[in-house]
Amino acid sequence: MAYDFMLEAARSEPFIISEDIILRLHKLFYNKIDSDQAGVYRNDRVFITGTEYLPPAPKDVPVLMQAFINELNEIWDSTHPVVLSAFAHKKLVDIHPFIDGNGRIARLLMNLILINRGYQIISIPPILRTEYINALEVARCNGDNTAFDVFIAECEVESQKDYCRMFEIKLP
């Protein structure tokens, strides 16, 4: 259901990222797991397994999310779609607005942007999980998103290659 909504939202006109879209993605994804927490910002401090990163305090989440959405919409036209989608993904997982499911919602948001801008859906396979986490950590530690942008761009290229193979389009 969240995936279907993501596709529907990506094709809507006029298109604008809103808090409602992000909250609805989470509600649709998380409702069967914990209906009380689905589609609402967290009220508790959270910790991310496998990292020393400490997400913002719950009281700061609404303001950070609004600032994130504003910034995303401000840079929409001036940023390459793949870089924009990587930015959206990283920023959402950094804010970590939900009690659980933040990575999945970040990937749905990333793909919503990619689809809207004419790119392929990206899947981050489990075999690349360590590389994915490392790229996020590098971006967090040094404030330079290049490693994460490159990781997402490489995933996009692989997704496009998959379509070429599926349709038997020879690549140079």
Q: Which residues are catalytic?
A: 96
Distance CA 23, CA 47 (A): 21
Please give the single-letter amino acid code of residue 57. A
Distance CA 111, CA 132 (A): 16
DSSP-assigned letter for residue 60: G
Cα dihedral sign for 146, 158, 132, 57? Answer: positive
Give yes or no for a contact between 122 and 159, defined as CB atoms under 8 angstroms apart: yes
C-alpha torsion 15→67→89→143, nearest 10: 140
